[in-house]
């Protein structure tokens, strides 16, 4: 099923890096919950006197968060999930957020999920993890293979480099397997199962995935509690909101039309295949030789950090490049016949005063588009003084 990738997902990966979807969502979240807090405070100060059970309900600030309850098909209560489910004020707040300020973003996530979730669920099931853990990927990255956080996390599952390497993913100069849909999903499933074995609770496993196992253990020691809702007050705000956010996303995604979203619509799938490449070639050159659309080739291979295939002696094997099914069979033979001068190497460069992308490209004999893609910027990006750039250069210009 990995061979069928969607144009919706590909388009998501091509979003300009200056407009970060998850950062925008965080800003909207902050504004939403600030407004919620202000509204609650205003209601508290202006509410009339209550009596009996209403008084107790309105002013019981010390009631602990509800315990998790099992969802799903066994209790015949929606949504039907194979992960524990709870509905409380925190989950409901995130549902209101996604139905309000975050509606447009969540609809985009739903559209991307239409063909991606059916691909991820069997992988999770094969590894032995709950299939509905796909919603963790939804809130982590919005299902974007090239999503990158300020903390260095990357890919659909937002692995940081150390954790990725610990679970068998390569994060070298040429290839970052955190962006590989199949391998990253398997690694995420193994990591989440490890966390679940450690804490014996899926909510704590999710919290540990976000903040790290040490933070969760520390919160347990401080509160003498063992469940997520009991330790939430001692967790960082992002982690405190992580579980309610995931539950809200899962709830809405199960019945999107019931909650006012349109039916998810993904664009037509593209059938793909792989071909082995053993030398460092730029995707632009491969596209030119094989008669394939360069942008499509770039989006089909998000694990290639610089837009260059890795040399076999560094990667350990020939790189399996994903190409459209219609790519000519003799493409590999044509690529092998290319002169050695077409090989690409990596050079780093610090931006100086007066530098432009076109000037740097001309100086190194590189292509502007290759430099832009290697640095996750656009061809029109403004360069910063001292900014570190990665320059893919031909062998003949290496120096």
Torsion angles phi and psi, residue 285, rounded to 5: -70, -40
Contact 252, 259 (CB under 8 A): yes
Q: Which of 122, 245, 263, 108 is nearest to 181 (CA)?
A: 122
Residue 253 CA: distances (Å) to CA of 263, 349, 372 = 10, 45, 35
Among residues 124, 128, 171, the alpha carbon closest in space to that of 305 is found at 171
Helices (H), 281-398: 283-290, 294-300, 312-315, 331-336, 357-364, 368-374
Question: Measuring CA to CA, which residue among 143, 160, 164 is closest to residue 151?
Answer: 160
Give catalytic residues, as residue numbers: 140
Angstrom distance (rounded) from CA 327 to CA 303: 20
Single out the residue of 210, 170, 216 nearest to residue 191, CA to CA: 210
Q: Kindly report the length of the chain.
A: 399
Give the distance, in angstroms, between the CA of residue 313 and the centroid of all CA atoms in the same chain: 30
Give the integer Cα–Cα distance in Å for 328 and 292: 9
| DSSP 8-state code for residue 349 | E
Burial degree of 385 (CB within 10 A; 0-12, 13-18, 19+): exposed
Contact 111, 119 (CB under 8 A): no
Residues 349, 389 contacting (CB under 8 angstroms): yes
* SS3 label, residue 39: helix
- How many whole angstroms separate alpha carbon 391 and alpha carbon 389? 6
Query: Omega before 161 cis (within 30°)?
Result: no
* Token digits of residue 34: 């600030």
């Amino acid at each position: 099923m990995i061979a069928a990738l969607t144009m919706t997902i590909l388009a998501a990966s091509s979003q300009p890096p200056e407009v970060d979807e998850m950062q925008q969502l965080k800003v909207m979240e902050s504004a939403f919950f600030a407004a919620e807090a202000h509204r609650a405070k205003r209601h508290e100060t202006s509410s009339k006197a209550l009596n009996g059970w209403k008084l107790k309900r309105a002013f019981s600030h010390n009631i602990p968060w509800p315990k998790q309850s099992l969802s799903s098909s066994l209790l015949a209560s929606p949504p039907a999930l194979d992960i524990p489910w709870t509905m409380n004020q925190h989950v409901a707040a995130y549902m209101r957020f996604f139905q309000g300020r975050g509606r447009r973003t969540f609809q985009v996530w739903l559209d991307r999920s239409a063909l991606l979730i059916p691909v991820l669920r069997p992988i999770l099931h094969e590894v032995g993890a709950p299939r509905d853990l796909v919603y963790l990927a939804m809130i982590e990255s919005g299902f974007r293979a090239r999503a990158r956080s300020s903390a260095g996390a990357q890919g659909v599952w937002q692995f940081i480099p150390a954790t990725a390497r610990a679970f068998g993913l390569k994060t070298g100069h040429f290839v970052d397997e955190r962006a590989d849909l199949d391998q990253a999903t398997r690694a995420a499933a193994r990591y989440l199962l490890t966390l679940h074995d450690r804490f014996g609770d899926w909510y704590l496993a999710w919290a540990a995935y976000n903040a790290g196992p040490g933070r969760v253990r520390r919160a347990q020691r401080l509160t003498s509690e063992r469940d997520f809702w009991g330790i939430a007050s001692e967790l960082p705000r992002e982690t405190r909101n992580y579980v309610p956010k995931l539950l809200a996303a899962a709830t809405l995604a199960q019945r999107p039309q019931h909650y006012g979203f349109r039916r998810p619509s993904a664009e037509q799938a593209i059938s793909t295949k792989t071909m082995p490449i053993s030398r460092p070639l730029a995707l632009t050159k491969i596209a030119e030789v094989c008669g394939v659309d360069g942008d499509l080739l770039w989006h089909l291979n998000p694990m290639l950090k610089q837009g260059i295939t890795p040399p076999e002696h560094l990667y350990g094997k020939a790189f399996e490049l994903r190409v459209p099914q219609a790519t000519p069979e003799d493409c590999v033979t044509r690529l092998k016949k290319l002169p050695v001068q077409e090989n690409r190497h990596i050079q780093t460069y610090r931006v100086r005063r007066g530098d432009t992308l076109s000037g740097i490209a001309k100086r190194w004999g590189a292509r502007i588009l290759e430099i832009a893609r290697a640095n996750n910027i656009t061809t029109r990006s403004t360069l910063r003084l001292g900014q570190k750039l990665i320059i893919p250069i031909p062998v003949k210009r290496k120096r």
